[in-house]
């Protein structure tokens, strides 16, 4: 669809929900991811109903949702995002390989409230342009890094929500330690999200103590018979062990 048509459609969409605000709450903030498949694991769910999954995650206490819309590798679709967004009151992130402004307009037209930017796929000019457009539309992006060099570029561009992906893009190895190694470099005024390989309450407790504000969890939940119930148990497990819902201590620089 041409960008001018997408702009008109975006203007008719509902007002964006506050994705950044949802991740900054003083509690366990999980971005629950809705995806049918992944390149490394294949099909994760055959009984795939985005609206039902979204409602289950909302009941379980998710702070926000992430919906895969990329078709070739993840079997996603914009329809999945629209269905999930219409089913709940949570802010919804469009997760895709976004490299052009028309994709941002497309996301807004589908009622996305934020979108993912993968720094490894963007040069500095494109990163800045997409960040600025997202802000103009009330959609603060989640900007994803894998390395210290990428993080430096993101901070120079002025990103507000910084995600650390624990998956190595070249080997596909997942190391939660990647988040722990990079979080100290992220200023306190940024919202921090740890992504990939998060499976247990212990993982989240450790990352919260290091200063992470939110956690994107997808594959481990999608494999469960009842993803919403699995998320509820995870959140309850953290609260029971910590004795409160407040954020962990952080030594991140200001």
95 is catalytic: yes
- Of 58, 106, 140, 144, catalytic: 144
Q: What is the 3-state secondary structure (H, E, C) of the chain?
A: CCHHHHHHHHHCCCCCCCHHHHHCCCCCEEEEEECCEECCCEECCCCCCHHHHHHHHHHHCCCEEEEECCCCCCCCCHHHHHHHHHHCCCCEEEECCCCCHHHHHHHHHCCCCEEEEEHHHCCHHHHHHHHHHHHHCCCCCEEEECCHHHHHHHHHHCCCEEEEECECCCCCCECCHHHHHHHHHCCCCCEEEEECCCCCHHHHHHHHHHCCCEEEECHHHHCCCCHHHHHHHHHHHHHHHHCCCCCCCCCCCC
Q: pLDDT tens digits for 29-74?
A: 999 999 999 888 889 998 999 999 999 999 999 999 999 999 999 9
The yes-or-no verdict on residue 88 having pLDDT over 90 is yes
Q: How far apart are CA 142 and CA 135, in angstroms?
A: 11
Domains and CATH numbers, the chain: 3-242 (3.20.20.70)
Residue 201: the pLDDT is: 92
Between helices 3-11 and 101-109, what is the axis angle to 10°?
30
Range in 74-83, 90-99, 215-224, 234-243 the model is least confident about:
234-243
Range in 7-11, 31-35, 78-82, 126-130 the model is least confident about:
7-11
Q: Is the torsion defined by CA of 221, 32, 247, 148 positive or negative? A: positive
Q: Give the pLDDT mean for 5-21.
A: 93
Residue 241: the pLDDT is: 60
4 — pLDDT class (breaks 50, 70, 90): confident
Q: Give the pLDDT mean for 76-104.
A: 98
144 is catalytic: yes
249 — pLDDT class (breaks 50, 70, 90): very low
The yes-or-no verdict on residue 13 having pLDDT over 80 is yes
Residue 171: the pLDDT is: 82
Q: Give the pLDDT mean for 163-171.
A: 90
Q: How far apart are CA 203 and CA 215, in angstroms?
A: 10
- Of 66, 165, 179, 220, catalytic: 165
72 is catalytic: no
- Of 58, 106, 195, 219, catalytic: 195
Residue 94: the pLDDT is: 98
- Of 33, 58, 150, 219, catalytic: 33
Q: Give the pLDDT mean for 78-84.
A: 98
Q: How many CB atoms lie within 10 A of CB 144?
A: 24
């Amino acid at each position: 669809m041409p960008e001018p048509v997408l702009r008109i459609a975006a203007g008719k969409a509902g007002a964006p929900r506050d994705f950044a605000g949802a991740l900054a709450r003083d509690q366990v903030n999980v971005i629950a991811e809705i995806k049918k498949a992944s390149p490394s694991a294949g099909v994760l769910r055959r009984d795939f109903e985005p609206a039902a999954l979204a409602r289950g995650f909302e009941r379980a206490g998710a702070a926000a949702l992430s919906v895969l819309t990329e078709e070739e590798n993840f079997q996603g679709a914009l329809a999945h995002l629209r269905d999930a967004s219409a089913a709940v009151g949570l802010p919804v992130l469009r997760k895709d390989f976004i490299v052009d402004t028309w994709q941002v307009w497309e996301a807004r037209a589908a009622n996305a409230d934020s979108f993912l930017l993968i720094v490894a796929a963007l040069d500095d000019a494109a990163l800045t342009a997409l960040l600025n457009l997202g802000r103009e539309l009330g959609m603060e992006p989640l900007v994803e890094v894998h390395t210290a060099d990428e993080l430096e570029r993101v901070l120079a561009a002025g990103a507000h929500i910084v995600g650390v992906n624990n998956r190595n893009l070249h080997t596909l190895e997942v190391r939660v330690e990647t988040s722990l190694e990079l979080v100290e470099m992220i200023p306190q005024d940024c919202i921090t999200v740890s992504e990939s390989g998060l499976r247990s309450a212990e993982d989240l407790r450790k990352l919260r103590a290091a200063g992470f504000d939110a956690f994107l969890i997808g594959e481990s939940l999608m494999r469960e018979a009842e993803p919403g119930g699995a998320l509820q148990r995870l959140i309850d497990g953290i609260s029971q062990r910590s004795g409160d819902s407040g954020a962990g201590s952080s030594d991140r620089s200001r």
